[in-house]
């Protein structure tokens, strides 16, 4: 069966590096695929992150702006008959500056002969892009975790303000503080800790969709809580985010080894085949969607032919960064002090 090439894809279902005739490489197609695959693999970035930003990114270190609405509504009290109401509320949009100074690059090659010998339906290029996306998602999730944890540590110079991991050196003051709730002692300590974490969001008038991300090390504790509602008891097959196991006090619970202590295992590493310690010392994160900015403003991809081989190589670089934009809408839970 003949294979035809249209808009960067073979009609027989496989996406190839080139069309095999004119040698056309469409970087926009593969850059978009890398971006989609990365976003699909994110955990913290998907649950708490927003990718909306304004400004133009031209080079590493550029500053973009994250739009964030400020609550300006005030209760005017009772207006008597024939009275007047003054002080009109207005929607106020606040822009939080964010520097994009992180990123990574990769370089791989695909042999067209190897691709032809591969079983039908298996595309080497797509798999290589997917593997790269997993690494990128890990790096961005680690930045989100770092931003949250640093935001819960008060700076020495500014009392009541957390550290801004997005600043140079990560020592500048954030515009708020991510609250911390330490687990107490006793049989119901973990449940009480979750209730206290949710109460802090209530006090902050948080209205966004909430998620509780727990480390794998405390999954057993959560499952034993009588207040925990197991998702498997709901029946049906609702579409849920990866790692969703149920709910506590109405808050969805997601298990992820993005948080909590790393557990060394024979020949295995945590989270997408690789581990990080960005959230070390924190075993639960309760937050709302959009409380962290996780942006990928630039993806460059190009092809070239190595001089000493018959392969076609692809080089790419991607820029990303993360910043807490609503610290009042995130609470971290830490284990009891030994």
Instruction: Give the pLDDT confidence of 201-233 residue by residue, as tens digits.
Output: 999 888 888 999 988 888 888 888 888 887 666
**Range from 140-144, 256-260, 299-303 carrying the lowest mean pLDDT:** 256-260
**SS3 of residue 235 by DSSP:** coil
Rounded to a whole number of angstroms, the CA Rg of the chain reads 24
Token output for 24: 């056309």
Q: What is the mean pLDDT of residues 32-41?
A: 83
Query: What pTM was estimated for this model as a whole?
Result: 0.76
Query: Rounded to whole angstroms, how far apart are CA atoms 174 and 164?
Result: 5
Instruction: Give the pLDDT confidence of 273-314 residue by residue, as tens digits.
Output: 345 667 777 889 999 988 998 888 888 888 888 888 877 788
Percent of the chain whose predicted confidence (pLDDT) is above 70: 75
If we measure between CA atoms, which residue out of 220, 222, 216 comes closest to residue 261? 216
Question: Are 102 and 57 a contacting pair, CB within 8 Å?
Answer: no
Higher-confidence residue of 118 and 256: namely: 256
Q: What is the DSSP string of 110-149?
A: E-HHHHHHSPTT--HHHHHHHHHHHHHHHHHHHHHHHHHH
């Amino acid at each position: 069966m003949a294979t035809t090439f249209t808009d960067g894809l073979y009609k027989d279902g496989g996406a190839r590096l080139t069309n095999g005739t004119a040698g056309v490489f469409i970087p926009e197609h593969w850059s978009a695929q890398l971006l989609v695959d990365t976003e699909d693999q994110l955990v913290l970035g998907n649950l708490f992150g927003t990718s909306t930003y304004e400004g133009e990114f031209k080079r590493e270190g550029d500053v973009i702006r994250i739009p964030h609405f400020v609550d300006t509504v005030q209760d005017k009290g009772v207006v008597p008959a024939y009275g007047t109401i003054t002080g009109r509320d207005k929607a106020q949009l606040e822009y939080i500056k964010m520097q994009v100074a992180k990123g990574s690059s990769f370089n791989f090659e695909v042999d067209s002969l190897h691709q032809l010998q591969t079983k039908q339906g298996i595309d080497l290029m797509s798999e290589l892009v997917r593997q790269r996306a997993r690494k990128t998602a890990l790096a961005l999730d680690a930045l989100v975790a770092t931003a949250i944890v640093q935001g819960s540590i008060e700076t020495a110079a500014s009392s009541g303000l957390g550290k801004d991991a997005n600043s140079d050196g990560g020592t500048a003051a954030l515009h708020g503080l991510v609250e911390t709730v330490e687990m107490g002692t006793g049989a119901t300590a973990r449940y009480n800790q979750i209730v206290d974490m949710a109460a802090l969001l209530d006090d902050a008038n948080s209205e966004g969709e909430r998620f509780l991300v727990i480390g794998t090390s405390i999954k057993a504790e959560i499952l034993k809580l009588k207040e925990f509602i197991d998702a498997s008891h709901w029946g049906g097959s609702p579409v849920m985010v990866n790692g969703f196991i149920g709910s506590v006090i109405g808050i969805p619970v997601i298990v992820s080894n993005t948080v909590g202590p790393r557990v060394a295992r024979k020949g295995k590493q945590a989270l997408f085949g690789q581990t990080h310690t960005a959230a070390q010392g924190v075993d639960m994160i309760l937050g709302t969607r959009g409380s962290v900015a996780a942006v990928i403003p630039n993806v460059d991809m190009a092809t070239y032919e190595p001089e000493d081989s018959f392969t076609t190589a692809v080089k790419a670089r991607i820029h990303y960064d993360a910043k807490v934009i609503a610290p009042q809408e995130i609470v971290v839970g830490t284990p009891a002090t030994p």
